[in-house]
A and B are shown apart, each in its own frame.
Chain A
Amino acid sequence: AQSVTQPDIHITVSEGASLELRCNYSYGATPYLFWYVQSPGQGLQLLLKYLSGDTLVQGIKGFEAEFKRSQSSFNLRKPSVHWSDAAEYFCAASGGYNKLIFGAGTRLAVHP
């Protein structure tokens, strides 16, 4: 069955520290991959997406993600976290037709 796994439910980092959020997928073929961010009580905002080509994808707010086919992973990174990055982050995958499968999310807390 197709699935997206985010192994970390909660992550806490200090402001200014680097960040990596993990995402693994299980699909029959290489899916399209997305990272979304959600602030409390709000909808989701797209950070970045991987459709094909360059495996390192740049997104908004200084985020990037790297697609690694051999590891079935699409980890999200940011070199220096800001307090405003505290939110919930969702990895999602699609085999086509916009039917996204979401991971369970990783809640990020940022210490001052």
Chain B
Amino acid sequence: DGGITQSPKYLFRKEGQNVTLSCEQNLNHDAMYWYRQDPGQGLRLIYYSQIVNDFQKGDIAEGYSVSREKKESFPLTVTSAQKNPTAFYLCASSSLREGLNSPLHFGNGTRLTVT
């Protein structure tokens, strides 16, 4: 079955350490996205990419970095510069060939806890 795989499901890190969250999709989707979810705040866009080797900042990109070396993969690095990294992180993808507003397909998320 096609889908989006995020790993790991739970991640624990010490403050000051960088950490990379994995996101892989086998849907052959062009676009991929990273969202951060905090209680009571909905989802906020961190970064998105519509094509390999290109990506754009979302609304809350500070303290995060991404890469898009392959169509299937869009890893997110939470750097030590991110002031409040503890959150639930969701990766999503969409097919631009279905139109500019084709629905997003989401992974099951990674819960990051930084202490």
A contact residues vs B (CB 8 Å cutoff): 4, 9, 32, 34, 36, 41-46, 49, 51, 90, 94, 96-100, 102-105
Contacts and interface: CB of A to CB of B under 8 A. Distances in A.
B40 A32 contact: no
Contact of A98 (B43, B44, B94, B106): B94
Contacts, number: 60
A103 B109 CA distance: 18
Contact of B106 (A4, A44, A49, A103): A44
Contacts of B75: none
B102 interface: yes
Nearest to A94: B101
14 contacts: A32-B101, A36-B106, A43-B4, A43-B106, A46-B103, A49-B103, A90-B42, A98-B48, A98-B96, A99-B45, A100-B43, A102-B42, A104-B40, A105-B40
Contacts of A94: 101
B115 interface: no
Interface string B26-63: 00000101010000111111001010000000100000
A17 to B, nearest CB: 25
Contact of A105 (B31, B42, B48, B109): B42
Interface residues on B, range: 20 to 34
Contacts of B50: 97
A96 B106 contact: no
Nearest to A42: B108
Contact of B104 (A96, A100, A103): A100
A41 B89 CA distance: 11
A46 to B, nearest CB: 4
A97 B100 contact: yes
A47 to B, nearest CB: 10
A110 B100 CA distance: 35
A98 B42 contact: no
B104 A98 contact: yes
Given A32-B101, A98-B102, A99-B48, A90 B43 contact: yes
Interface string B77-115: 000000000000010101010001111101111010000
